[in-house]
Structure 1
Amino acid sequence: MLTIVMRSIWPIFLGILFISLGNGLQGTLSSWRADYEGFSVITTGLVMSGYFLGAFASSMLSPAQIKKTGQIRTYAAYASIASTAILIQILFIEPPVWFISRFLSGFCIAGIMIIVEGWLNSISSNENRGQLFSIHMVVVWGGLAMGQGLFVVDNPAGVSLFLLASILLSVSLIPILLTEIKAPDTEIQESLGIKALWKSSPSGVITLGVSGLASAGFFGVGTIYAIKSGLSVSETALFMTLFIGFGAASQWPLGWLSDKIDRRKVILLCCLVVTSICVLLSLFEFSKTVFLVLNGLIGAFTLPLYSLGVAQTNDRLKPSQMVSASGTIIFVYSLFAALGPFSMSYFINLFDEFGFLLYLAGVHVLIAIIVFGMMFITDDVDESDQANFQVMAQRPSVVGMEVIAEEALESQLDSD
């Protein structure tokens, strides 16, 4: 059954692969080039925050736009705007223009993800939705990681890499516009209030929100840390690739572990590992190989925190609330993520590369303290009542929340 469905929807995955490749390349390139062009560290942080502000705005405005103009036309418009936004960065090397460019990129790419997930949700069945969503996550994370490798294709001080990122976004249109998939009707979900979400799971909300400070900060100005640490262009590309690649690969084993024990213990483990590595990197000098691997391990235990936070939250929601909670989760994560690049850049500006490590350690210690405290206030959810862990691409997904809700309902029916 899955094979038959894949034959009809492979253009969607091909299109999203090109989107992820271009997006991964553009993010790293923009941060590196901003430093090269003489932007201050804080200015770079503000510019890179534009992407996450755009994603936040898209989560509120894109569903209505998609309903008005349809999936395919909206996808085409968003891909074209995102492609053009990259080219604008070549023509006008000014911080305000680059902020607008990053805002447009975040708005359009987040909107495209909403469209793609709507397609997957309508085409899939209860039996294969989880498998399709897993494939979608592999494509997204794989594309982002491989996009970092494109950073070494040419000199980032020139215009070629900007052109390549623009081309990749434009090419993503081809498989989508030629597909025969019927666009589904779009439904705008009501959001579960933030007060109700917080009351249900303070640990989950804190984890998925505050972790955005770390992950978005890294995606925004991680290259500045690499530059200040003396890495070359190729080493910077490897640095970013390892962070994302390790972060993607570790989600499944950590998710499996969190399904077996109290998720908060897994969250504490992640925070402990990241903080310990930051302390080691602060106190000792390592060879570049060890340095790169240790930073990759930071990604392995930082990036899964978002998915763990979503799972921890879902454990304390009714299945009927899970999909409606996605809107509030978007709000919480986007709010913190928009602050991530700027706040991390502020620490780097004050303390150079040590500020990067101090910031990451501080964020993870904050999560650990709150989650540890909550373990004495609220009881763990029984394993039989836990919602199954799903990998998330640093934003709530309609498909992912549907999968979790369906599995929770089935588990509930089986226990009855």
Structure 2
Amino acid sequence: MVRQILPISALLLGSALLLFAGGMNGLILPVRGTIEGFSASSLGLLGSGWAVGYVLGCLMMARLVGRVGHIRSFSVMAAFAAVAVLLSLLLLSPWAWVPLRAISGFCFAGAAMIVESWLGERAEPSTRGRIFGIYSMVNLGASTAGQMVLTLGDASGALFFVLPAIFYCLALVPTAISSSASPRPLVRVSLDMRALWRNSPVAVFAVFCVGISNSAFGTLSAVYASGVGLQLASVTLFASLPVLAGALSQIPIGMASDRTDRRMVLVGVAVLALATDLAFLLLRPEDRMINLGLAALFGAAIYAMYPVIIAHANDHAEEGSFIQVSGGLLMTFGLGSIAGPLAAGFGMARLGEPALFLTSAVAHLLIILFAVLRIAMRAPVVEEDKASFVSVPPGRVSTPETAVLAATAEEAEEEIAQAEQALAQELGSEETEEAPVAASPPAPETEETGAEMPKPVPPRDD
């Protein structure tokens, strides 16, 4: 294990420092905004701004890295993230915080894609799963530690704005001084949303609703906890315990989804989430332990849905289209993540703190109804045709590079070969024919650009 970690230790350290700073940054804004008297609707806009920036980062970062390289791009992302959090301290206004939060989301997506592509390059196919697992646990631990730091000081001062900026700057040091060669260019994903819907309507609809629920809770959980009278230490636990519970619940839920119809598992998890929504709405608990217990149960449900949905979509996808499916679901999740904090924020401003769970209850109820309808219309996928279940770090949207890093050995080799061939064709390289050839036939070229097109997703339905 040590021999596997040492070559990527600089990348893991850079990612850990980035996530540590991100954990502080993401939690201090709603906590400080509540202290400053910002409305719940304005704080909800922070989550929408983050989602917009994150999706744009996933779509645009490949072009930037292609122009200036991985190390320079990562340094730019870390620098702008530090600037954004410091400006949030200087400009204590929600109308300044929203665009600054969008910049943070863009930088976070870009930095994550760079680190993940680098790890994917350094990981051997035989150890790729273990590397992805280590990377996920490092990120989870660092993000949770960053949130817990808020219990050690006064949130009304400048400390928790300056500390994230320091750690954002420190995050660029390991990659800047690393002797590792830069990896291949980032994967560019061509999306076909109509084909993705034909591939799996349940996956597309459910991932949009999950985006609404998860982003609303991730953005406004601290506002809810403060509103019901919890102290700062308990507010931090209320935001971090669900993430930890979501990481643990993915193991048994993933095993269950591999053994039965994933749609049934999705319905069961959504029922658990809906029951927790209703408990918050009807009981309106003020006791610290009840709130923390319900929050952990809620996180165990909501953060396990996304990997089940990805696995279900890939059950129906054609071999070699893993990244196209993952990219399409990421885009759909991002759209839901824009809408969720907006709806929950305006609801909380008018109906009070429990409206946060009213928003997610509607989303979870829609998932249940639509999935049950599709189960009645289509038979499940046979077990031998199922794709492998891959855990996704809870609390963070995946990127196209996550799909490459988490892929199996065969999938990884094929995806890398296709990316190399597409890049060679785009640049008009004369060495295109010498590029590694995937096991499956190459995708057709367009008459206008000669660029490789994604393999068509068959019109199978769930």
Give the TM-score, by structure 1 length.
Answer: 0.94
Deviation at 1:218, TM superposition (A): 1.2
Q: 1:268 corresponds to which residue?
A: 267
Deviation at 1:210, TM superposition (A): 1.4
Instruction: Read off the aligned partner of 1:166 and give its amino acid letter.
Output: A
Per-residue Cα deviation, 1:352-403 (whole angstroms, up to 9, x for no partner): 1221221221111111111111111222111111111112232244343564
C-alpha distance in structure 1 between counterparts of 2:412 and 2:223, whole Å: 46
Cα RMSD after superposing both structures: 1.9
Q: 2:305 corresponds to which residue?
A: 305
Q: 2:90 corresponds to which residue?
A: 91
Deviation at 1:188, TM superposition (A): 3.6
C-alpha distance in structure 2 between counterparts of 1:396 and 1:101, whole Å: 21
Q: 1:402 to 1:165 in 2, by over 3 A?
A: closer
C-alpha distance in structure 2 between counterparts of 1:191 and 1:53, whole Å: 19
C-alpha distance in structure 2 between counterparts of 1:170 and 1:277, whole Å: 39
Q: 1:180 to 1:79 in 2, by over 3 A?
A: same
Deviation at 1:406, TM superposition (A): 4.5
C-alpha distance in structure 2 between counterparts of 1:169 and 1:26, whole Å: 10
The higher radius of gyration belongs to: 2
Per-residue Cα deviation, 1:38-75 (whole angstroms, up to 9, x for no partner): 22111111133211110011111111001111001100
Instruction: Read off the aligned partner of 1:181 and give its amino acid letter.
Output: S
Q: 2:401 aligns with which of 394, 398, 402?
A: 398
Q: 1:402 to 1:156 in 2, by over 3 A?
A: closer
Deviation at 1:324, TM superposition (A): 2.4
Query: 1:209, 1:306 within 8 Å by CA — same for their partners in 2?
Result: no
Q: 1:59 corresponds to which residue?
A: 58
Deviation at 1:296, TM superposition (A): 1.1
C-alpha distance in structure 1 between counterparts of 2:180 and 2:310, whole Å: 30
Identity of aligned residues (%): 27
C-alpha distance in structure 1 between counterparts of 2:344 and 2:316, whole Å: 32
Deviation at 1:92, TM superposition (A): 1.0
Instruction: Read off the aligned partner of 1:366 and give its amino acid letter.
Output: L
Q: 2:385 corresponds to which residue?
A: 385
Question: How many residues are aligned here?
Answer: 410
Deviation at 1:318, TM superposition (A): 1.4
Q: 1:178 corresponds to which residue?
A: 177
Deviation at 1:4, TM superposition (A): 2.5
C-alpha distance in structure 1 between counterparts of 2:410 and 2:331, whole Å: 25
Query: 2:129, 2:406 within 8 Å by CA — same for their partners in 1?
Result: yes
Moved more, 202-211 or 399-408: 399-408
SS of the residue corresponding to residue 125 of structure 2 reads coil
Deviation at 1:240, TM superposition (A): 0.8
Q: 1:33 corresponds to which residue?
A: 32
SS of the residue corresponding to residue 239 of structure 1 reads helix
C-alpha distance in structure 2 between counterparts of 1:392 and 1:79, whole Å: 23
Q: 1:399 to 1:292 in 2, by over 3 A?
A: closer
Query: 1:193, 1:328 within 8 Å by CA — same for their partners in 2?
Result: yes
Deviation at 1:409, TM superposition (A): 9.8
C-alpha distance in structure 1 between counterparts of 2:330 and 2:281, whole Å: 33
Per-residue Cα deviation, 1:287-332 (whole angstroms, up to 9, x for no partner): 3212211111101100111111111111110121112223322211
Q: 2:291 corresponds to which residue?
A: 291
C-alpha distance in structure 2 between counterparts of 1:146 and 1:212, whole Å: 24
Instruction: Read off the aligned partner of 2:93 and give its amino acid letter.
Output: E
SS of the residue corresponding to residue 162 of structure 2 reads helix
Q: 1:254 corresponds to which residue?
A: 253
For structure 2, the 5+ residue unaligned runs are: 414-438, 440-462
Q: 1:407 to 1:281 in 2, by over 3 A?
A: farther
C-alpha distance in structure 2 between counterparts of 1:235 and 1:402, whole Å: 35
Q: 1:365 corresponds to which residue?
A: 365
The 5 Å alignment of 1:67-82 reads: 67-82=66-81
Deviation at 1:221, TM superposition (A): 1.2
Q: 1:333 corresponds to which residue?
A: 333
Q: 2:324 corresponds to which residue?
A: 324
Give the TM-score, by structure 2 length.
Answer: 0.85
Deviation at 1:187, TM superposition (A): 4.3
Per-residue Cα deviation, 1:77-112 (whole angstroms, up to 9, x for no partner): 110110111000111112222112101110001001
Q: Of Structure 1 and Structure 2, which has the larger fraction of its residues in helix?
A: 1
For structure 1, the 5+ residue unaligned runs are: none
1:315 aligns with 2:315: yes
C-alpha distance in structure 2 between counterparts of 1:286 and 1:228, whole Å: 10
Q: 2:457 corresponds to which residue?
A: none
Q: 1:63 to 1:269 in 2, by over 3 A?
A: same
C-alpha distance in structure 2 between counterparts of 1:139 and 1:341, whole Å: 27
Q: 1:238 to 1:187 in 2, by over 3 A?
A: closer
Q: 1:167 corresponds to which residue?
A: 166
